[in-house]
Amino acid sequence: MITLDHPLVIGSGVAGLSVALGLDRATVLAPGDLGSTSWAQGGIAAAVGGDDSAAAHTDDTLEVSGGLAVRRAVEILTAGGRDAIERLVALGAEFDRTATGELKLGREAGHGNRRIVHADGDGTGREIQRVLSTAATAADSVEIWDGWKALALVRVDGRVVGVVAADRAGDRTEIHAPGVVLATGGIGRLFKHTTNPEGVTGDGLAMAAQVGARLADLEFVQFHPTALMVDLDPLPLLTEAIRGDGAVLVDDQGRRFMKKHHPDVELAPRDVVARAIWWQHDRHAGAYLDASSIKGFPERFPTVFEIAREAGLDPRTDLLPVSPAAHYYMGGIDTDESGRTSMPGLWAVGEVASTGVHGANRLASNSLLEGLVYGARVAADLSGAAPVALPADAHGPAWAFETGLGRVSAIDEVRRIMWERVGLIRTGSGVWEARGRLLELEEALSTTIPGRVAFNVARLVTAAALRRSESRGGHYRADYPELDPFQTQRTLVEPPFVLDAR
C-alpha cells in the first residue's frame, strides 16, 4: 500500500493536468492511453474578441443546451475564458494569430460570434496537451506516474480514501490519498462508431457508481455530425471549423440538404446536423462535406488534409463522405461548482463530470474550456480543504485484485448494441432490446475489468435512455420525437445503481 499526503489525480489530459498544476503538490496517474485532449481539433471557445462578451457566450451555451444547462455553472465557464487563454499563453501555447499579432478567431455551430481560439489550424488539442504536459513534467510540485491505471475507488465509512491501481507491469496496489480527483474522460468507446481513441471507456463513471456517488444526465451522448466515413476505428474527425469556414453538406447529387432542417444550415447545433446526416444515410441519399470553396485548405486544416489524403481524397476537389459518430458525453458524475461529488473525498472534472454546463447538448469547443476553467476551480477547492486522517485498515474491493486486465471479445458486441439501439436515434423497443442483450452478456463481460466497465456503463446509459420519454438535445427518441416541457429538468441518479453484483 502507498499512502500520499497530497491529492491524487486520475488522468493526464487537459482537466487532470489543470488540477495538478494548480496544487501545491499532486500525484497524477497517467495510464498511457491517448486521451481525448490530443485529438481535439476544434479549439477553445473563449470570449476574447473586441465585439464579444462572456454574457454572449453564456447565451449561446444556454441556447443549444435544450433548456437543461445550469446558468450559474455556464457563467463560471464563460467568465473564465480569457484567464484560461492567458494562462496557456504564459505557459508557452502558440495559438494562431493574425498578421498584427491578434488571436485569430474562428466560428463554429451555435456561436453567434467568432470566438474559437485555434493552434496550428486544427491541432489545438495537441498544442494544449504539449504545453500542459511540459509544464507538469517540469514542475517540482507534480509527480507523474506514467503507465499507472486506476481500477477501483477505495471507500471507507462513506468517504473515498484512495484507489486500487495497476502499474505498467500490471501489478496492483492500493494508493491512499486525502483527496482523489477523477479526470478520466468520457464514454465514447462504448459505441461502435466513435471519434474517441482507445482508453475513453467510461472507467471513471463506473468507479464512481461502484462507490455510490450521485450521477447525472446519463442519457445525453453527443454525436459529432462529421466523421470521415472510412473503415477505421476511431473514425477520423472532420472538425466543425471546416463548416465554420464555409464548407457545406451535400447529398450524392451535390445538393445541399441542411436548408430544410434548420435556418442556420451547416452551423445548426450538432444534434440537428447529426440527425440530418443520419437520415440522409437512412434514405440512401448520401452525405458529403464539400470544402472546395475554402482557400488554402492544407494550411488552414493540416490534420484533416492529411487524414483525407491517407484515405485517397483531396478536400480541395473531392467530396468527403461523412457520418455521425459518438463524440462527447454530457452526462457523468454530478458535481458542484468546485468539482465536489456527493461522496466526500472525491472530486471529478472534465468530461467525466456533469457540472450542468452542457445540459442536453454541448456547444462546440466548450469542452477544452471546461477542463481548463473547472480544473483550476477543483485545484483551488482542494488547496483549501482541511487535512484528512486516512484509515490504516482501508481495503479496496477484492474483484479489483482478482479480475483480469485484458479485453474481452464481448465488448465489441456491446459497442454494436449501443450504436444500433442506444445511439443517435433511439426507440423504447430498441433500448429494451439492448437491455436484454446486455444481460445475456453479463457473465462473459464480468471476467475482466474492461468488460465490467462496459457492462456497467452501458446498463446505466440504457436505463437513462428508457427513463426520458421525449427528445431533447443529444437524446432523440423516435417514438417520442417532441420536446416535453414537463421533463425540463436534469436527471439526477442516486444509488443504488443497476450494477453487477460480482
Can you give the pLDDT at residue 58? 98
Taking the model in full, what pTM does it have?
0.94
Can you give the pLDDT at residue 392? 74
Q: How far is CA 320 from CA 134, 250, 281, 305, 314, in A?
A: 36, 10, 14, 11, 8
Give dist(CA 234, CA 231) in Å, integer.
Answer: 9
Q: CA-based Rg of the chain, rounded to a whole angstrom?
A: 22
Averaged over successive runs of 10 residues, the pLDDT of the chain (502 residues) comes to 95 96 97 67 89 96 96 98 97 94 89 92 88 96 96 94 94 95 96 92 96 97 95 91 92 95 90 93 95 94 92 96 96 98 97 97 93 98 85 84 90 97 96 97 94 96 97 96 97 74 33
- Examine the residue annotation and report whether 270 is marked as an active-site residue of this protein: yes
**Beta-carbon neighbour count of residue 358 at 10 Å?**
33
Give dist(CA 31, CA 12) in Å, integer.
Answer: 8
Cell numbers given for 287? 452525405
Cell numbers given for 449? 475489468
Longest dimension (CA), the chain: 69
What contacts 395, CB < 8 A, 6 or more positions away? 154, 174
Q: How far is CA 108 from CA 60, 85, 111, 138, 399, in A?
A: 11, 18, 6, 34, 45
Q: Where do the domains of the chain lie, and which CATH numbers do they carry? A: 2-186+330-383 (3.50.50.60), 225-324 (3.90.700.10)
* Residue tagged active-site, from 107, 155, 189, 270: 270
Can you give the pLDDT at residue 347? 98
